[in-house]
Structure 1
Amino acid sequence: MARPWGSIDLHAHSTESDGTESPRELVLQAHAAGLDVVAITDHDTVAGWPSAIEAAREVGMGLVPGVEFSAQQQYASVHVLGYLVDPAAPAFLAERERIRVERVERARRMVERIGVDHPLTWQDVQDHAAPGATIGRPHIADALVTLGVVPDRSSAFDGILHWRGGYYQPHRAPAPVVAVRIIREAGGVPVIAHPAGRGQATMDELVIAELVDAGLFGLEVEHRDNPPEARAWLHEQARRHGLITTGSSDWHGRGKPNLLGEHTTTPEALEAILAEGTGAEPVLPA
């Protein structure tokens, strides 16, 4: 008999990357929002897993340990969600550390350029990151908000931090097919995050077919950044290539307007992920 999973949100961030709430608070807020299962998917880090797992067990809800892996197609970003990965898998561990170092160096370069025209210092940005968190553009955005340079994070990303804004610095990330293979080699389940979202590389059928050959398992279709017409096309691609589809909030706490549970994943899709992943164990709801 299938487990009665309830409401499932498979994409949320904590202070370990660019969220505004701790991993524990992420779980507590997910529980308060009526979710039965949530995934913690911080950018290129699994540091939040232990406290999120502990909190999930305390409140009796399900937790899927995951990561949002940074990839790049030409000059555009592609984010690959990896569920149930083995965090100690050699290739996954090495690439995660390389990306973390590159993220910090890139952020420093951007802050130096922005600081020529605006009252922004590296210390300002550090003040907006939790201890041990990898500093990135969202922390720069938060510093700019505090300094009164922009009214909110969205304005920062639409202006100063946009690649056309004059301060943008590129960063080196693996190709999406490489990211998918690394996740698979770590026993994880790869799903492309918000494939039609703003700033995301174009996902045409040729690209999707290439990713499927590399081991892609699913597409995150129900997401506020995917336009309705794109969702219909993505559902068709999923049917054509035998992929699962997921729905998620991509919650960042106060860092974005996204609300926990605003889009959810079906129990059937979650069951498929749990059956496929071998690198880590989920916390099952009580």
Structure 2
Amino acid sequence: MRIDLHAHSTASDGTDSPAELVRNAAAAGLDVIALTDHDTTGGYAEAVAALAGVREGLTLVPGAELSCRLEPEGVGLHMLAYLFDPEEPNLKRERDLVRDDRVRRAQVMTDKLMGLGVPITWERVQRIAGDGAVGRPHVATAMVEAGVIRSVGDAFTAEWIGNGGRAYAEKHELDPYRAIRLVKAAGGVTVFAHPQAVARGRVVPVDVIAELAEAGLDGIEVDHMDHDDDTRKRLRGMAAELGLLATGSSDYHGSRKAIGLGDNTTDPEVYAEIVRRATGAEPVRR
């Protein structure tokens, strides 16, 4: 089985619609694809409907990638949540708060960039985002279109909208311990996304990962494009020591990232354990 448990659609900051994501997952020969848009399940219904048009055997896992922040360290992190009840009110309320604040944040960053002489507009950023949850990649795409930078990744620096950058703005984020509790209460399973992606900025200390495990964290994402071989080996050992599941995935964003669906995958036994632990929702099989 080929299992990819981290992918984004236009419901957040991917470039494939939810239906296109499902079709592309089937074409890539995947057996399981998880839809994990940022702080939203808005693309799930379209993805489920698209299953009817692809080959038999593809399974869709509903999920989300929750924006979190560890205090007092001030370190941002992402928590993958799988198979939770999307209508559970407490978790839904928090997802809505984060999603709504993304709009304010993106507008603040756009205003800051305009103040720095970058020829973009809020209206263009909104059009790029479409119906999805607006985020930094949409602002970065507007900068690419304006010829200010060559690629979306070039925007994520101290010069522009990288963490702490000249045009950076904070957003509402969940405490990771609270995120774990909320997802558990909604019947879901939690996996710490790309925990040692040092290229993205500061990372969560190892001792905190142990504390998150004690608080109920189910797993850590080990095989990820932002982890080199040594980091993967270290994380796999940490997972074994802490009793955490070790997952792998592409973190696919369509054309916004140079990685394909299924470029990193999760062991079938690990996937089976995630499904076994979940009580909030079930995977949908074509």
> What secondary structure, in the 3-state scheme, does the structure 1 residue paired with 2:48 have?
helix
Give the equivalent residue in structure 2 for 1:240.
241
- Count of residues in correspondence between the two structures: 279
CA 1:57–1:273 in 2, change beyond 3 Å: closer, same or farther? Answer: farther
- How far apart are the structure 2 equivalents of 1:253 and 1:160? 23
Give the equivalent residue in structure 2 for 1:157.
156
Give the equivalent residue in structure 2 for 1:231.
232
Tell me, yes or no, if the aligned pair for 2:163 and 2:201 is still in contact at 8 Å.
Answer: no
CA 1:201–1:94 in 2, change beyond 3 Å: closer, same or farther? Answer: farther
> What secondary structure, in the 3-state scheme, does the structure 1 residue paired with 2:137 have?
helix
- How far apart are the structure 1 equivalents of 2:245 and 2:140? 34
Show the 5 A alignment for 1:196-207: 196-197=196-197, 198-199=199-200, 201-207=202-208
- How far apart are the structure 2 equivalents of 1:98 and 1:68? 14
Deviation (angstroms), 1:241: 1.3
CA 1:218–1:200 in 2, change beyond 3 Å: closer, same or farther? Answer: farther
Q: Which amino acid aligns with 2:191?
A: V
Query: Normalising by the residue count of structure 2, what TM-score does the alignment of the two structures yield?
Result: 0.94
Q: Which amino acid aligns with 1:13?
A: H
Give the equivalent residue in structure 1 for 2:94.
95
Show the 5 A alignment for 1:22-41: 22-41=17-36
**2:133 is aligned with 1:134:** yes
Deviation (angstroms), 1:156: 1.4
Give the equivalent residue in structure 2 for 1:182.
182
Q: What 5-or-longer segments of structure 2 have no aligned partner?
A: none
Deviation (angstroms), 1:164: 4.3
Q: What 5-or-longer segments of structure 1 have no aligned partner?
A: 1-5
- How far apart are the structure 2 equivalents of 1:186 and 1:57? 27
Give the equivalent residue in structure 2 for 1:3.
none
Q: Which amino acid aligns with 2:228?
A: P
Deviation (angstroms), 1:102: 1.3
Show the 5 A alignment for 1:1-80: 6-59=1-54, 60=56, 61-73=58-70, 74-80=73-79
Deviation (angstroms), 1:200: 5.6
Deviation (angstroms), 1:232: 1.5
CA deviation profile, 1:54-88 (whole Å, cap 9, x unmatched): 22243221111110000012322110000001111
- How far apart are the structure 2 equivalents of 1:180 and 1:42? 17
**RMSD of aligned alpha carbons:** 1.3
Deviation (angstroms), 1:176: 1.3
Deviation (angstroms), 1:245: 0.6
- How far apart are the structure 1 equivalents of 2:196 and 2:206? 13
- How far apart are the structure 1 equivalents of 2:255 and 2:203? 28
Identity over aligned pairs, percent = 44
- State the 4+ residue runs in structure 1 displaced beyond 3 angstroms: none
CA deviation profile, 1:209-242 (whole Å, cap 9, x unmatched): 2111221001100001012222112111111111
